Structure 1
Amino acid sequence: MIPLVAMQFTGEVDWTGSDFVVAGILLMVTGLGFVFASRKVKTATQRVLVGGVIALAFVYVWAELAVGIFTNLGS
């Protein structure tokens, strides 16, 4: 909702419908991945580690889709 609200007040945020769909898919996959992975592990410590790995994967994909921060170095 933040990009949708920001689009009402500034021209700096310019999301299309496909951007919202991709963001929704990314959030859904991340959430489902955590739920399924946390059901497989036994202890709370393992759940925290799994959650951390999934969160790092989410941040990596988000940054890559947003600005290509990891594959467009130096360009």
Structure 2
Amino acid sequence: MITQKNRFSYMVLGIACLLLIPFAAMQFSTEVNWSLFDFMVMGALLFGTVLLIELVLRTVKTKKNRIALCIVLLLAFLFIWAELAVGIIGSPFAGS
């Protein structure tokens, strides 16, 4: 059974594995060109999302509310990621 401490460890390990994908792609293609800042921003975004999901899972008691809040957090993550990558709403933080 996965305990709370193990669950968080697995989430952090998942973040590291996700960040390895663009790093590996940079070795084989010139189309992926991330700087150290890009890795730091994505790591912070993923880690912040994982921390918020862990907070929800530890504090919210009903399963229905847990699922709803986790979906909202994941949608917020996806929106911020898309905004940083391509600029959905054209904020100053949008990519070129």
Q: Structure 2 length as normaliser, TM-score?
A: 0.70
**Structure 1 residue 16 and structure 2 residue 39: aligned?**
no
Give aligned pairs, total.
Answer: 72
Residue correspondence of structure 1 range 1-75 to structure 2 within 5 A: 1-71=20-90
CA RMSD of aligned residues (A): 1.2
After TM superposition, the runs of 4+ consecutive aligned structure 1 residues lying more than 3 A away are: none
Determine the C-alpha separation between the residues in 1 that align with 2:59 and 2:89: 31
Determine the C-alpha separation between the residues in 2 that align with 1:70 and 1:34: 25
5+ residue gaps, structure 1, are none
5+ residue gaps, structure 2, are 1-19, 92-96
Determine the C-alpha separation between the residues in 1 that align with 2:85 and 2:21: 15
